[in-house]
Chain A
Amino acid sequence: MRGAVSLTDIYAKYNEQVKFIPIYIREAHPVDGWWFGGNFLTKNLMKTFAPRVAMDIHDPQTMDERRQVAGACETSLSYGVRTYVDEMDDAVNKSYAGWPTRLYLIDTEGVVIYAAGLGPYDFHPSKLEKAIENYL
């Protein structure tokens, strides 16, 4: 998952005080979608800046396929946090506009206290960490 390395650090630091819920959603750049692997420039940019991102994944068409890819992602990235899987209707993804990647912090009253802007441009784990620090 994009940004997982630094999120791993945040998880290690706060997981006893904060519940982390990574949600696997529809693929960002699958082979059968907006694929980056077919373009020399984007392929090499991804290899350089996101080396653990997969380049050979088709977008899952069934819930079983989605769970399989989510499991492979969780294993490959080894970030140590259980990954949850959005249903095929993409309901959670749509309600949070989560695609392709996004971060939120919810307080103990269920209120959003940090909402990153649209991914990937506003995917900044450091801002999330600051929000956690301010809240705790």
Chain B
Amino acid sequence: MMTMIKDRKTATAWQKKYDLQAPKVGDIAPDFNLRDANGQNPVRLSDYRKKMPVVIIFGSFT
């Protein structure tokens, strides 16, 4: 579980920590395998190699 972010200070600390390891332009994108909101339709990033470019959009409801 991620530490609860309660304010700008903890938000900035979290972003600085994980941005160091986040992929940069020219890096191989870390692979992942996730399911949709119904727990179905798995998607694996590497399945799109040699097929289509991929846009990844991170976000939440708030």
Who on chain B is nearest to A66 by CB?
Answer: B37
Contacts of A96 in B (CB 8 A): 22-23, 30, 56, 58
User: Is the Cβ of B57 less than 8 Å from the Cβ of A7?
Assistant: yes
Interface size class of B (residues with CB under 8 A): 35 or more
User: Is the Cβ of A108 less than 8 Å from the Cβ of B49?
Assistant: yes
User: Is the Cβ of A119 less than 8 Å from the Cβ of B58?
Assistant: yes
Contacts of B50 in A (CB 8 A): 108-109
Chain A contacts with B in 1-38, Cβ cutoff 8 A = 1-4, 7, 10, 14, 17-30, 32-34, 36
Number of A positions contacting B (CB below 8 A): 79
Say whether, besides A100-B60, A108-B48, A118-B19, A59 and B29 are in contact (CB < 8 Å): no
Is the contact region of chain B dominated by helix, strand, or loop, or is it mixed?
A: loop
Q: 10 closest A-B pairs (Cβ-Cβ)?
A: A98-B58, A1-B59, A71-B37, A97-B22, A73-B61, A97-B18, A84-B34, A29-B62, A70-B37, A97-B19
Using a CB–CB cutoff of 8 Å, the interface residues on chain A facing chain B are 1-4, 7, 10, 14, 17-30, 32-34, 36, 53-55, 57, 59, 67-74, 76, 82-115, 118-119, 128, 132, 135-136
